């Protein structure tokens, strides 16, 4: 099962302080809007998202259809197909993608320890 590009979405208290901290660790802003309280930062192949006031918990994020630079892939498994496969494996989907649609969609599942997993397809 190919879930797509992986990143960790961190809920932060002060996005400016978090940006500065991660820049000290060698991350640089890749995408986002500081004035909207969200940034995507990269350090080599490692990707993190900083989100102030948007989520309650940190989220493991997968993006079907994107490579590590958020460039569209020619071939990938659609989020709706992943959802069908997970349902067959009796994985509870917390928030489902509408299987009657195509294109961008997302679903959320929760791991056994309560960690949210977002599978977020942008293409």
Q: What is the CATH number of the domain that holds 99?
A: 3.10.180.10
Q: How confident is the model at residue 75 (pLDDT cuts 50, 70, 90)?
A: very high
The mean predicted confidence, pLDDT, of the chain is 96
What DSSP character marks residue 100? T
Q: Are 23 and 31 in contact (CB under 8 A)?
A: no
Pairing of strands 93-95, 59-63: unpaired
Provide the residue range defining the domain that includes 82: 5-121
Q: How confident is the model at residue 104 (pLDDT cuts 50, 70, 90)?
A: very high
Residue 87 makes CB contacts below 8 A (sequence gap 6+) with 93
What share of the chain has pLDDT > 70, as a percent? Answer: 100
Q: 8-58, pLDDT tens digit by residue?
A: 999 999 999 999 999 999 999 999 999 999 999 999 999 999 999 999 999
Q: What per-residue confidence (pLDDT) applies to 65? A: 96
User: Into how many domains does the chain fold?
Assistant: 1
Separation between Cα atoms, residue 13 and residue 56, nearest integer Å: 11
Q: Position of tokens 């309650």? A: 56
Q: What per-residue confidence (pLDDT) applies to 114? A: 95
- Nearest in space to 38 (alpha carbons), one of 46, 47, 25, 29: 29
Q: Are 28 and 34 in contact (CB under 8 A)?
A: no
What DSSP character marks residue 16? H
């Amino acid at each position: 099962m190919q879930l797509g590009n992986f990143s960790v979405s961190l809920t932060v208290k002060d996005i400016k302080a978090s940006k500065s901290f991660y820049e000290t660790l060698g991350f640089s802003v890749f995408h986002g809007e500081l004035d909207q309280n969200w940034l995507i930062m990269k350090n080599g192949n490692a990707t993190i998202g900083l989100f102030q006031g948007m989520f309650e918990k940190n989220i493991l994020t997968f993006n079907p259809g994107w490579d590590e630079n958020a460039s569209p892939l020619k071939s990938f498994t659609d989020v709706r197909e992943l959802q069908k496969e997970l349902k067959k494996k009796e994985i509870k989907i917390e928030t489902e993608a509408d299987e009657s649609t195509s294109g961008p969609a997302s679903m959320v599942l929760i791991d056994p320890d309560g960690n949210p997993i977002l599978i977020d397809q942008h293409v």
